[in-house]
Amino acid sequence: MTILPKPWDGRFTETTHHLVESFTASVNFDQRLYQYDIMGSIAHARMLAQVGVLTTVECQQIIDGLTAIQQEITQGDFNWSVALEDVHMNIETRLTQTIGTIGKKLHTGRSRNDQIATDIRLYLRHEIDLINHELTQFLTHLATIAEREVETIMPGFTHLQSAQPITFGHHLLAWCEMLLRDKARLQDCRKRVNSLPLGAAALAGTSYPIDRHYTAQLLGFDTIAENSLDAVSDRDFAIEFTAVAAIIMMHLSRFSEELILWSSTQFNFVELSDAFCTGSSIMPQKKNPDVPELVRGKTGRVYGHLMSLLTLMKGQPLAYNKDNQEDKEPLFDTVDTLKNCLQIYADMILTLKVKPEAMRAAAYRGFTTATDLADYLVRKGITFRDAHQIVGQVVRYCIENNGELDKLSLEVLQRFSPQIEPDVYSTLTLEGSIAARNHIGGTAPVQVRAAIQRLRTQL
């Protein structure tokens, strides 16, 4: 068996125990960073040539070698070695095999500590842009459905009890507000991700005359990490991203809960496409909302990754520690989970079948226009607290007599307040209640249409 040399074995007298090799290796999961590792290495080589550490010829040889290695990996022809520990040493060793001793010059002026910090930031910056695109797609689809359902009446809930009538379009715009905040958080997080740690070397910087601004320019970083100790040991950006992801997943979980309830026989507000549901192995009538249920379940998975990263960092002294090898799998899985959930949700929501008759019937139940009656009495000169008391008595009368507010005769209504007049009935209709909320943020169809237009402008 060939024993591959370690990049650090000069001071060691024994070979690494085979269990230690497998235990400490990260190549099985960090190899997915290969394109960012190569991107960072090419920029580093160009910078070294710019400052005279490499010749122009040496730089080009390194770039050509790295480009060839990237093609090998992309085509599946690259042999990854656990003995070489990580993505960095696998690529660097292959580079030396390909172009000879010049390949050993690439690591001049850097460490794997600042190298991996750079790789992760390049990776996460790219993934944030993809996730931001998925959020935009989802929002666009929601806006399309909201526009279609701008006058579809449904009950609005508090405490999961029927509260006041709203439109389904208005409800969907509440989801949009959550996702817009998610986009803003994601974009703000990206600013802190996009800071270059390369040049910090192991922890103290390097004695070579490097030009970090040039490297940052080549790699598209907005800023440069100012302190070398912090640059190699900081994982705040990964924690912040995972926190943002956890909030997005929390929102998707809330959407899921509503879709699960609404698609049940008891609610029957919507129907999910067969393409996004599964059946039962024993009950032939079942149509299960597995996609929203799984999204709801995967939310806890992302919460766990956030706690994992927070716990990983909480006891670490400066600067870099091997603990930080454990940052990648939670981060990678968070990215994968979030992207998958957003993609499937955006596709699923476009196929949603809305059942306006069932929604309207539910909005009619539960005395949802009671607040409108109270507001009517206030406009007649009664204080709101007194109006609240009067309407509560009217509702109790309806419950005891199996009646509905808008079906009560004027004579009965006037028993509770002589200020009630025939014009009250326009107030007690579902349409009247919704139309009355005609202000920015309200559920009146004219306001919902205006909100959709503002949303489209933002997107």
CA end-to-end span of the chain, whole Å?
Answer: 58
Q: Which residues of 16-34 are buried (b: 16+ CB within 10 A; e: fewer)?
A: beeeebeeebbbeebbebb
CB-side exposure of 357: number of CA atoms within 13 Å? Answer: 0
pLDDT of residue 12: 63
Which among 127, 135, 173, 180 is positioned nearest to 154, based on CA atoms? 173
Q: Cα–Cα distance between 348 and 342 in angstroms, integer? A: 10
Task: Identify the H or E element spanning 39.
Answer: helix 34-50
Quick check: helix, strand or coil at residue 163? strand
Q: Is the peptide bond between 231 and the residue preceding it cis, with omega within 30 degrees of 0? A: no
pLDDT of residue 3: 52
Q: Cα–Cα distance between 193 and 222 in angstroms, integer? A: 9
DSSP secondary structure of 361-418: HHHHTT-TTHHHHHHHHHHTT--HHHHHHHHHHHHHHHHHHT--GGGS-HHHHHHH-T
pTM of the model as a whole: 0.93
Q: Residue 252 is which amino acid?
A: L
Other C-beta atoms lying within 10 Å of the C-beta of residue 424:
21
Residues 137-184: tens digit of each pLDDT:
999 999 999 999 999 999 999 999 999 999 999 999 999 999 999 999
Is it true that 113-202+227-360 and 370-428 share their CATH fold?
A: no
- Residue with structure tokens 């001071």? 11
Structure tokens at 446: 């004219």
Which among 112, 90, 93 is positioned nearest to 29, based on CA atoms? 90
Structure tokens at 335: 């990215």
pLDDT of residue 1: 39
Q: What's the CATH fold of domain 16-108?
A: Fumarase C; Chain B, domain 1 (1.10.275)
- Would you list the domain boundaries of the chain? 16-108, 113-202+227-360, 370-428
pLDDT of residue 23: 73
Q: Cα–Cα distance between 431 and 365 in angstroms, integer? A: 14
Query: What is the helix, strand, coil percentage profile of the chain, to 5?
Result: 65, 5, 30
Other C-beta atoms lying within 10 Å of the C-beta of residue 100:
11
What lies within 8 Å, CB to CB, of 343 at 6+ separation is 134
pLDDT of residue 105: 97
Q: Which residues of the chain have pLDDT under 50?
A: 1-2
Q: Cα–Cα distance between 6 and 344 in angstroms, integer? A: 44
Quick check: helix, strand or coil at residue 348? helix
Phi, psi of 223 (to 5 degrees): -135, 175
Q: Cα–Cα distance between 260 and 432 in angstroms, integer? A: 30
User: What CATH number matches the domain at 113-202+227-360, 3.40.50.2000, 3.40.50.720, 3.40.640.10, 1.20.200.10?
Assistant: 1.20.200.10
Q: Residue 247 is which amino acid?
A: I
pLDDT of residue 239: 98
Which among 118, 175, 336, 119 is positioned nearest to 245, based on CA atoms? 336
CATH architecture assignment, domain 370-428: Orthogonal Bundle (1.10)
Cβ burial of 397 (10 Å; 0-12, 13-18, 19+) is: middle
- Residue with structure tokens 């270059």? 196
Tell me which residues are annotated as active site. 159, 280
